[in-house]
Amino acid sequence: MRDTAASGKPSVERVDTAVYTVPTDTPEADGTLSWDRTTLVLATVRCGDVTGLGYTYGPAATAQVVHELLTGVVVGGSVLDVPRLNEAMHRTVRNAGRPGVAAQAISAMDIALWDCKSRLLGLPLVDLLGAARTAVPLYGSGGFTTYDDRQQERQLRTWVEDEGIPRVKIKIGESWGRCEERDLHRVGAARACIGNGAELYVDANGAYTAKQAVRVADRLTHHGVRWFEEPVSSDHPRTLAAIRVAVPMDVTAGEYGYTLAYFAHLLDAGAVDCLQADVTRCGGITVWLRAAALAEGHGLDISGHCAPHAHVHAASAVPNLRHLEWFHDHVRVERVLFDGVLDPAGGAVTPGPDGSPGLGLTLNAGRAERYRVG
Ligand SMILES: [Mg+2]
């Protein structure tokens, strides 16, 4: 599987990782999880004097997977042949279990390899992949269940009024679906705040039971909700499919897709109206583009999940993109750790606006150092 320097192609010479944990600005929670800090695992690959970077949001153990299982597979391989190295990484983690931390480690490495290749060629990654669109539409995402009405309103107004993002999403399903009335109160407050000119989405993170989700959906229609993400756990595609038939808004899922086969199962079950996929989990840009093609083959759009700066070039390269999630937590982390972050003004971002090669991101070591934990 391995190219060598002798093949005449530029080869990966070195792999490094760094782990950063950044506290949230206030405690955050969705329907099924709460957190007060977020960890980003950075992978870098070096080829000559060029270094590419990639990352995932996962436990520090992800870095250990990179060193123990992946480094030996990619060092010496051609940085021009990213799909070949991606396949080699997937094969080498077979007995460790591909979904989860291993897939996150592969994703960070795959993104770093694409970044390195496009830097070697002196191109923004979108130009290496080939653009299907110029601008990538965004939706503001946050609205955590820990927020009170005032905090939620402040966040939504920032997106819609200050930044001109015409789509927003809030979390519902608080405490595993046990706070239905508060969920609906917060949805009503969100609609009152953003008016009728902006699209309103909700994400239950799998918190509801099936019948509860249908009942809640009926009440969500009164607030013009267009997107109902993971009304029940995405572990049960047939249940999602049944809910999809029963409710008028789009039912969506896919953020826990760690393999291409997972997306095929969701789509074959008729579980979603729009497929979500996360480039930092699914196997990187290489697999994310294939997931987009799978969705397109089913007549559906794809939406990028979180980690906006890792997605934006790939998102620009697919014709069936719905939008990209401008997730409050990750936007904060990426603004702290990286230079070259994009401006969401107007509700869309354009990758490679200044012609910077690769992802256009540079780690700001000065700002990042105080958050480094590994
Ligand atoms: Mg979600």
| Ligand 1 center from residue 203 Cα (angstroms) | 6
What was the pLDDT predicted at 125? Answer: 98
Tell me what pLDDT residue 91 has: 98
pLDDT the model gives residue 54: 98
- Give distance in angstroms: CA of 30 to centre of ligand 1: 9
250 CA to centre of ligand 1 in angstroms: 14
Residue 46 predicted with pLDDT over 60:
yes
Determine the distance separating the centroid of ligand 1 and the alpha carbon of 360, expressed in angstroms: 26
Per-chain mean pLDDT for the chain: 97
Any idea where the domains of the chain sit in the sequence? 5-123, 127-359
Distance between Cα 62 and ligand 1 center (Å)? 21
- How do residues 327-349 score in pLDDT, each as one tens digit? 999 999 999 999 999 999 999 99
**What architecture (CATH level 2) is domain 127-359?**
Alpha-Beta Barrel (3.20)
**131 CA to middle of ligand 1, Å?**
26
Residue 2, CA atoms < 13 Å, CB-side half-sphere: 16
Per residue in 252-289, pLDDT (tens digit) is: 999 999 999 999 999 999 999 999 999 999 999 999 99
What does the pLDDT look like over 222-240, one tens digit per residue? 999 999 999 999 999 999 9
Question: How much distance in Å is there from the Cα of 19 to the middle of ligand 1?
Answer: 23
Alpha-carbon dihedral angle through residues 308, 311, 315, 316, given to the nearest 10 degrees:
90
Find, among 183, 180, 175, 166, the residue nearest to 211 by Cα.
180
pLDDT in tens, 10-32: 999 999 999 999 999 999 999 99
Q: What is the band of 1 on the pLDDT scale with cuts at 50, 70, 90?
A: very low
3-class SS letters over the chain: CCCCHHHCCCECCEEEEEEEEEEEEEEEECCCCEEEEEEEEEEEEEECCEEEEEEEECCCHHHHHHHHHHHHHHCCCECCCHHHHHHHHHHHCHHHCCCCHHHHHHHHHHHHHHHHHHHHCCCEHHHHHCCCCCCEEEEEEECCCCCCHHHHHHHHHHHHHHCCCCEEEEECCHHHHCCHHHHHHHHHHHHHHHCCCCEEEEECCCECCHHHHHHHHHHHHHHCEEEEECCECCCCHHHHHHHHHHCCCEEEECCCCCCHHHHHHHHHCCCCCEEEECCCCCCCHHHHHHHHHHHHHCCCEEEECCCHHHHHHHHHCCCCEEEEEEEHHHHHHHHHHEECCCCCCCCEECCCCCCCCECCCEECHHHHHHHECC
Question: Tell me: the pLDDT tens digits for 286-323?
Answer: 999 999 999 999 999 999 999 999 999 999 999 999 99
CA distance 15 to 72: 9
CATH code of the domain occupying 5-123: 3.30.390.10
Distances, alpha carbon 134 to alpha carbons 48, 64, 342, in Å? 31, 37, 14
Q: What is the distance in A from the centroid of ligand 1 to the CA of 264? A: 19
Q: What is the pLDDT of residues 82-129, one digit of tens each?
A: 999 999 999 999 999 999 999 999 999 999 999 999 999 999 999 999
pLDDT for 228 = 98
117 C-alpha to ligand 1 centroid (Å)? 31
Cα-to-centroid distance, 29 and ligand 1 (Å) = 12
| Predicted local distance difference test score (pLDDT) of residue 8 | 86
pTM of the predicted structure, to 2 decimals: 0.97
Angle at 354 between CA 119 and CA 282, to 5 degrees: 55
**pLDDT for position 195:** 97
The stretch 137-143 carries a mean pLDDT of 98
pLDDT score of 353 = 87
Q: CA-to-CA distance for 300 and 284, rounded, in angstroms?
A: 20
Q: What is the mean pLDDT of residues 177-189?
A: 98
* CA 132 to chain CA mean position, Å: 19
Q: What is the mean pLDDT of residues 152-161?
A: 98
* Residue 6: predicted pLDDT: 45
Q: What is the pLDDT of residue 3?
A: 44
